[in-house]
């Protein structure tokens, strides 16, 4: 059976931004392995206002053109609010799949709310809606008048096999290593992390921050104000570097304010690194307090500081229990299994 798909996404990694939309790239490689032929229309992320505008206009025009000449079995759109704009003036697709992720449904900024019309239009015209978690399925059902039976849960491409490694690094009591991995944006909670660190007495604990985003300069400035030489901003990273980075950490601190799933947390668990994470929707679907994680109220730096202090005093045997439980949880999200389930669903829709 020929399996052809038109993919449209305003999120996709490139050389400048290797971590930008990696879950979409993982989705593509996963379906390629299952013999899907995928034509991609993706946004080339740029810096500077003029370059951004030109890049977006090009992306929207190419998307509109592809939608109106498309003969593929499935049209698959990632991130409804921005990528669905051309749908409004395009012909009806054979089978339309809309994959929603987070801020396209629950905007983090007022500017994102302006695109709500396009999200709603896309979801009301979709033949299938893909969401990353049970939590987000409930959010979509509460917010939009769509049928429950057209919603399918698929956790953002799953976690690649190379993340599942034998644990080499073990915590050193005299110098623990805490890490943050993610975009440097307010909604990801980096300010909560720094505020918590500021309230903890300085010792040999290292705090490593990995990622890139629009608030890098603010982050660097705030780190200087704290005057703790153990806090290091490590800059952007490539996706294939993540397993070794997670392995080098004793705990991943995941202070996000909003997550439809939070794949970063599951990737960390796959390497045996447990979490100190915000107790919010998507994260709560896999992170269990005092089992594979420590959870704190989102935005509450005092609670986060208490969690950090608690794990610092943890015995090695107890940490190993958390590490083992984290790995057991992550195995449920292995990429090959996730993509096989999605593939089966898509095939059932076009037979």
Can you give the CATH number for the domain in which 225 is found? Answer: 3.40.50.2000
pLDDT score of 311: 95
Q: Which of 104, 127, 129, 108 is nearest to 116 (CA)?
A: 104
At residue 206, what are phi and psi to the nearest 5 degrees? Answer: -95, 140
Q: Does residue 49 surpass a pLDDT of 70?
A: yes
Structural domain of 322: 161-333
Is residue 144 located within the same domain as residue 177?
no
CA-to-CA distance for 121 and 29, rounded, in angstroms? 28
pLDDT score of 155: 94
Is residue 188 located within the same domain as residue 274?
yes
| 287's tokens | 């992170």
pLDDT score of 48: 77
Is residue 119 located within the same domain as residue 166?
no
CA-to-CA distance for 120 and 122, rounded, in angstroms? 5
Is residue 319 located within the same domain as residue 194?
yes
Number of domains in the chain: 2
To the nearest whole percent, how much of the chain has pLDDT over 90? 81
What does the DSSP 8-state code read for residue 176?
Answer: -
Is residue 218 located within the same domain as residue 78?
no
Is residue 111 located within the same domain as residue 186?
no
258 CB neighbour count, 10 Å cutoff: 19
Is residue 94 located within the same domain as residue 201?
no
Range from 11-15, 80-84, 203-207, 223-227 carrying the lowest mean pLDDT: 11-15
Instruction: Give per-residue pLDDT as tens, 222-245.
Output: 999 998 999 999 998 888 899 999
Is residue 153 located within the same domain as residue 191?
no
pLDDT average, residue stretch 270-294: 97
Whether residue 155 contacts residue 133, with contact meaning beta carbons closer than 8 Å, is answered with yes
Instruction: Give per-residue pLDDT as tens, 74-133.
Output: 999 999 999 999 999 999 999 999 999 888 998 877 767 888 999 999 999 999 999 999
The maximal CA–CA distance of the chain, rounded, in angstroms, is 63
CA-to-CA distance for 195 and 86, rounded, in angstroms? 42
pLDDT average, residue stretch 164-191: 91
pLDDT score of 1: 64
Round the average pLDDT of the chain to a whole number and report it.
93
Instruction: Give per-residue pLDDT as tens, 247-268.
Output: 999 999 999 999 999 999 999 9
pLDDT score of 213: 87
CA 25, 27, 30, 36 torsion-angle sign: negative
Q: Does residue 193 surpass a pLDDT of 70?
A: yes
To the nearest whole percent, how much of the chain has pLDDT over 70? 99
Is residue 145 located within the same domain as residue 223?
no
> Which residue in the block uniquely carries the two structure tokens 């890098």?
216
Range from 30-39, 41-50, 324-333 carrying the lowest mean pLDDT: 41-50
Is residue 345 located within the same domain as residue 317?
no
pLDDT average, residue stretch 306-323: 95
The helix (run of H) or strand (run of E) holding residue 218 is helix 216-226
Is residue 125 located within the same domain as residue 38?
yes
- Radius of gyration for the alpha carbons in the chain, expressed in angstroms and rounded: 21
CA-to-CA distance for 24 and 162, rounded, in angstroms? 17
Is residue 197 located within the same domain as residue 214?
yes
CA 7, 12, 15, 16 torsion-angle sign: positive
């Amino acid at each position: 059976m020929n399996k052809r798909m038109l993919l449209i996404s305003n999120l996709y990694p490139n050389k400048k931004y290797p971590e930008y939309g990696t879950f979409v790239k993982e989705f593509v490689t996963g379906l390629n392995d299952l013999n899907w032929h995928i034509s991609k229309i993706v946004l080339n992320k740029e810096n500077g206002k003029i370059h951004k505008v030109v890049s977006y206009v090009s992306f929207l025009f190419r998307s509109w053109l592809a939608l109106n000449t498309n003969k593929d079995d499935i049209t698959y759109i990632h991130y409804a609010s921005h990528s669905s704009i051309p749908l409004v003036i395009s012909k009806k697709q054979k089978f339309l799949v809309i994959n929603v992720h987070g801020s396209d449904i629950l905007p983090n900024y007022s500017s994102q709310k302006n695109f709500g019309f396009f999200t709603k239009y896309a979801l009301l015209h979709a033949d299938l809606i893909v969401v990353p978690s049970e939590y987000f399925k409930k959010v979509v059902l509460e917010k939009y008048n769509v049928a429950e039976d057209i919603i399918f849960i698929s956790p953002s491409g799953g976690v690649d096999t190379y993340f599942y490694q034998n644990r080499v690094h073990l915590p050193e009591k005299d110098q623990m290593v805490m890490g943050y991995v993610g975009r440097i944006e307010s909604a990801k909670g980096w300010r909560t992390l720094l505020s918590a660190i500021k309230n903890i007495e300085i010792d040999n604990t290292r705090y490593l921050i990995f990622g890139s985003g629009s608030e890098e300069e603010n982050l660097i400035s705030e780190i200087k104000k704290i005057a703790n030489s153990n806090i290091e901003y490590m800059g952007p990273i490539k996706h294939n570097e993540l397993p070794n980075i997670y392995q080098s950490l004793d705990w991943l601190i995941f202070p996000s304010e909003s997550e439809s799933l939070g794949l970063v947390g599951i990737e960390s668990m796959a390497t045996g690194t447990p979490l100190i994470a915000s107790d919010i929707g998507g994260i709560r679907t896999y992170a269990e307090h005092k089992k594979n994680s420590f959870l704190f109220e989102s935005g509450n730096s005092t609670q986060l500081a208490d969690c950090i202090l608690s794990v610092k005093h943890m015995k090695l045997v107890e940490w190993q229990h958390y590490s083992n439980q984290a790995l057991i949880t992550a195995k449920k999200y292995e990429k090959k299994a996730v993509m096989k389930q999605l593939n089966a669903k898509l095939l059932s829709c076009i037979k």
